[in-house]
Amino acid sequence: MSRLREACEIDLYTGDRAIARSELIDRVREKQGLVCLLTDQIDRGVIDAAPSLRIIANIAVGYNNIDVEHARVRGIVVTNTPDVLTEATADFTWGLILAITRRIVEGDRLVRRGEWKGWALDFMLGSELRGKRLGIIGMGRIGQAVAARAPAFGMAVATSSDRPFTARLRPEGPDLPKIASVSFDELITTSHVLTIHVPLTGETTHLIDARVLARMRRSAYLVNTSRGPVVDEAALGWALREGLIAGAALDVYEREPEVHRDLLGLENVILAPHLASATIETRTAMADLAATNVLRVLAGDQPLTPVNL
């Protein structure tokens, strides 16, 4: 904010929920730059309400909340914040993998309810990761960062991505392990842990549906830190109740902050409140990158991370 204030007049929305569309349209009318969050729907109506708008800077990697094509037609630059949240999201993904396979959150709830009776040989047995297959759907920057951590847990990695992954998209960080490239059907039927790292598009909406869940291993776990609508939550609730998969860990949801009622009462699902990039360092870097993009565009320079140029 201090960097932006040095160069711009700032109109800051301070509400604790997403700004109402009518208020957003009213306040964006004379603006040249807009910094928004993934919870803000920047559609054609919002864009057309701002004839002077030159840049929309989204504080997120994904930008499915923005009508990018209409912004391009209007000559408005759209930017996102890739890279800076890659490592934090990969770390969090592994946190969810460990938590769901070893039943950590479930155990925490049990202790808090006063139901723990003491150590027992066969009490709350989880599943080890060593020697198992980690299936990654989406081998972009975050998917590759998740894969790079797999050897530490003794997991083999497979993906159905057709994107080349012989070298990391980011030069820094550990080298990638050997990754098996298989068909999507083989990936979902052979993976012990299936983790999702794809953007939200028409093709990926409900990519994980009842058919996919029914074909997964009964001992498999599903993890989603990408976008909520990639998973059909109603189908997931059904699969967990019926024992078609062993468990799931979600950080994102179809209608955030609402969570499908079928998931709320289940013990074998972890429900995190969209925390994958929620570290002080990462969220600060995301905001700083968005501010840099705004300042560069308003100064007549190219942004660092455009998505529609």
Amino acid, res. 169: L
pLDDT in tens, 204-242: 999 999 999 999 999 999 999 999 999 999 999 999 999
Residues 77 and 99 in one domain: no
Residues 99 and 32 in one domain: no
Q: Domain with 173 in it: what CATH number?
A: 3.40.50.720
Global pTM value: 0.91
Contact 97, 249 (CB under 8 A): yes
Q: What percent of the chain is predicted at pLDDT more than 90?
A: 94
Whether the ω angle into residue 82 lies within 30 degrees of 0, i.e. cis, is: no
- Whether residue 166 is predicted with pLDDT greater than 90 in this model: the reply is no
Structure tokens at 303: 């942004």
Structure tokens at 307: 């998505």
The answer to whether 9 is a known catalytic residue is no
308 domain residue, yes or no:
no
Given the residues 227, 233, 254, 260, the one annotated as active site? 227
Contact 171, 144 (CB under 8 A): no
Structure tokens at 296: 């560069």
Alpha helices in the chain (DSSP H): 2-7, 21-28, 44-48, 68-73, 86-101, 104-112, 141-149, 184-190, 210-215, 233-241, 261-264, 280-298
The answer to whether 256 is a known catalytic residue is yes
Cα(182)–Cα(189) distance, integer angstroms: 11
pLDDT in tens, 97-116: 999 999 999 999 999 999 99
Structure tokens at 171: 């030069």
Contact 159, 178 (CB under 8 A): no
- Whether residue 167 is predicted with pLDDT greater than 90 in this model: the reply is no
Given the residues 21, 27, 72, 274, the one annotated as active site? 274
Residues 292 and 181 in one domain: no
Angle between helices 280-298 and 86-101 (to 10 degrees): 150
Amino acid, res. 306: P
- Number of domains the chain contains: 2
Given the residues 27, 256, 283, 296, the one annotated as active site? 256
Residues 59 and 6 in one domain: yes
pLDDT in tens, 179-209: 999 999 999 999 999 999 999 999 999 999 9
pLDDT in tens, 11-58: 999 998 899 999 999 999 999 999 999 999 999 999 999 999 999 999
Domain span at residue 240?
Answer: 86-271
- Whether residue 164 is predicted with pLDDT greater than 70 in this model: the reply is no
Phi and psi dihedrals of 126, rounded to 5?
-105, -155
pLDDT in tens, 87-97: 999 999 999 99
304 domain residue, yes or no:
no
